[in-house]
Structure 1
């Protein structure tokens, strides 16, 4: 498929025009015209680019691409090396950030809910493009038991901050993958029993303790592996691409 046709296909699936983002969504670095082999991964790090080149990929499809608002504009240093490697190997780079977080079928939030057996009930922000969701477990669990479930599913031990009432059972849950820790305030306002995000801030600890809500920091990378993986699997299943997901270890 032509790279511009692939970009159009992805735009039709993810609808990036519906959400204001911090980076451009779609084709960020143009390479060869025809695309058959695609490597997917969370972040367009040098290690992932090198792996894509090793696998003779025509395109690299990621959640975290380049050209973020506020980043230095010159293409030099680490950024220059990454882009030179892409151009040298004629590899297209496509990135989808918030559109991949919020997609109801393939998104990071949707995939995390599926993996943790949470039934999605709505958006914490009260609209279809909400980047934080809430839902319900099939049966109440203790905070310790839910932390064990997260550990088992994501292969990463979460940081669990208990509320002052540490014995409070969890039935209703809010979540936002990646750096969504401040949505804990909305989760508490909704009266939810627990909130999950990837990253934690110092202030998040006190929010959990003082607002009677369990909090789980499950890792930015760990909570955002599954949307890009699902998107690649959709491209392979529905459109015949040769797709390989590469997981570059990241403890954050």
Structure 2
């Protein structure tokens, strides 16, 4: 059994949450039981993930996308009411880490995605956007296929770069607007999760390939790796649950 506050204090330090000015609170968002036997992690605190936690008698849910986002409606109605009602009725803690799970140098979404794609990080300045180099140049079709195999979904490819690619910039989630900085860094490819209408023109005119690889798919790594870390650190049952989202 693990005291909730022990976990909260440890993760606050390990993920350096005080370093971030975020869009939602990092840490405990909904208070449940003070003693934890089972924890699940997931990308988003959806009702489906809460139902899974209830069915598997979890005491805490740790997610990347939690609640109480800046500028959202404050009323507890509809979808928000239903989610909170289930958490409170079953005494389940909801814990969320947004930017800290994007940026962490070991288990962050960006760090692990770069490792999985065998990219040597050569980012010129601090920040969420990363720049990496491949050990050997490869065709864009080959690289795109590797991204598809890794994320288990075909990315939307907006072509604009060279046939042979060697430099890749990336930022997981909804970071399509960072394509301009990727272009300035001279990247052959930019990877993020989502896409906007203007991204098509940016890719062509900036002479860069853009791979919209899925907001959910690119952000499974942080919570998945965090589950393994918690399991090893505290010898507690901690399970990553991937409820697939096509977006």
Structure-2-length-normalised TM-score: 0.97
Quote the Cα distance in structure 1 between the aligned partners of 2:51 and 2:85: 11
Number of paired residues?
246
Unaligned runs of 5+ in 1: none
How far residue 36 of structure 1 moved from its aligned partner, in angstroms, is 2.2
Q: Deviations over 1:82-128 (max 9, x none)?
A: 011000010000000000000000000011111111111226xx22x
Cross-structure match for 2:236: 241
Quote the Cα distance in structure 2 between the aligned partners of 1:144 and 1:200: 19
How far residue 190 of structure 1 moved from its aligned partner, in angstroms, is 0.8
Quote the Cα distance in structure 2 between the aligned partners of 1:246 and 1:206: 36
Contact 2:162/2:207 (<8 A) preserved: no
How far residue 158 of structure 1 moved from its aligned partner, in angstroms, is 0.5
After TM superposition, what 4+ stretches of structure 1 lie above 4 angstroms from structure 2?
none
Cross-structure match for 2:209: 214
> Which one of the candidate residues 199, 204, 227 is aligned to 1:204?
199
Cross-structure match for 1:121: 122
SS at match of 2:41: strand
SS at match of 2:9: helix
Contact 1:42/1:225 (<8 A) preserved: yes
Cross-structure match for 1:148: 145
Quote the Cα distance in structure 1 between the aligned partners of 2:90 and 2:203: 47
SS at match of 1:170: strand
Quote the Cα distance in structure 1 between the aligned partners of 2:116 and 2:49: 25
Cross-structure match for 2:176: 181
Quote the Cα distance in structure 2 between the aligned partners of 1:228 and 1:44: 12
How far residue 132 of structure 1 moved from its aligned partner, in angstroms, is 1.1
Cross-structure match for 2:30: 29
Contact 1:143/1:162 (<8 A) preserved: no
Quote the Cα distance in structure 2 between the aligned partners of 1:167 and 1:110: 25
Cross-structure match for 1:139: 136
SS at match of 1:199: coil
SS at match of 1:70: coil
The answer to whether 1:63 aligns with 2:60 is no
How far residue 167 of structure 1 moved from its aligned partner, in angstroms, is 4.2
Quote the Cα distance in structure 2 between the aligned partners of 1:141 and 1:161: 17
Quote the Cα distance in structure 1 between the aligned partners of 2:46 and 2:169: 30
Quote the Cα distance in structure 1 between the aligned partners of 2:220 and 2:15: 17
Say what the alpha-carbon RMSD is for the aligned residues: 1.0
Quote the Cα distance in structure 2 between the aligned partners of 1:10 and 1:243: 14
Contact 2:109/2:219 (<8 A) preserved: yes
Cross-structure match for 1:15: 16
Contact 2:162/2:208 (<8 A) preserved: no
Unaligned runs of 5+ in 2: none
Quote the Cα distance in structure 1 between the aligned partners of 2:157 and 2:83: 36
SS at match of 1:75: coil
